[in-house]
Structures are given as structure tokens and as C-alpha cells.
Amino acid sequence: MSVLKKPLVTEKVSELNEAGKYGFIVDVNANKVEIKKEVEKIYGVTVESVNTMKYLGKVKSRYTKSKIISGRTPSFKKAIVTVAEGDVIDFYSGI
């Protein structure tokens, strides 16, 4: 299974793209070295740094006829990757 799950395409991360920073949802057990190697291999860019953050899943409740069902959404990990100046990652090239 790949370390990178999907790219982040939000307003906040799109604003960072102009500064050479790109966001990805990554495997929870992936470390910074694995993330760096995977991005360099897939996109053919030089990665300068990787910042990671873990998010705990949200608690959600659903009200049904008979009872309240509570659960938690899955936890996930985000990575913000800074690429070398002049390198660009194009997420929309395959569309």
C-alpha cells in the first residue's frame, strides 16, 4: 500500500501551494523519511522538508428511532511537504 493516500485540495493548502508547500493525507504509520521518498518518486521533485500532524477522529452521534448510536470517525495524518524552489506539483494534470 502507498504511503500517500490523497492530496489535500483545500483553500488553506491551495494558498500554501504558491509558496512551494503541498499537503497530503498519508498513512498513520508513515514517517517523514518514507513520505519524502514517496513524493520524490511519484512527482519527480526535490523535497526540502516534511511537517506532519496527527488528527484524532471526531466523535459523532446519530439519533435513530430506538437509540442513540455513537461512534468515531477514523483518525488520520496530514503531511505538509516543502519542495525546492522552482519545482511544482500539478495535481490536476490527469483530469
In a domain, 90, yes or no: no
Q: For residue 40, is it within any domain?
A: yes
Burial class (CB in 10 A: 0-12, 13-18, 19+), 17: middle
Indicate whether 59 belongs to any domain: yes
Asked if the structure places residue 63 within a domain, the reply is yes
How many domains does one find in the chain? Answer: 1
Residue 67 sits in a domain of what CATH number? 3.30.70.330
- 37 in any annotated domain: yes
Check pLDDT > 90 for residue 23.
yes
Q: What angle do CA 93, 54, 92 make, to 5 degrees?
A: 5
3-state secondary structure of 32: helix
Asked if residue 95 belongs to a domain, the reply is: no
Band of residue 95 on the pLDDT scale cut at 50, 70, 90: low
* 72 occurs within a structural domain: yes
Residue ranges making up the domain that contains 62: 4-83
Q: Does residue 91 fall inside a structural domain?
A: no
Q: Specify the DSSP class assigned to residue 86.
A: T
Write out pLDDT tens, residues 48-87.
999 999 999 999 999 999 999 999 999 999 999 999 998 8
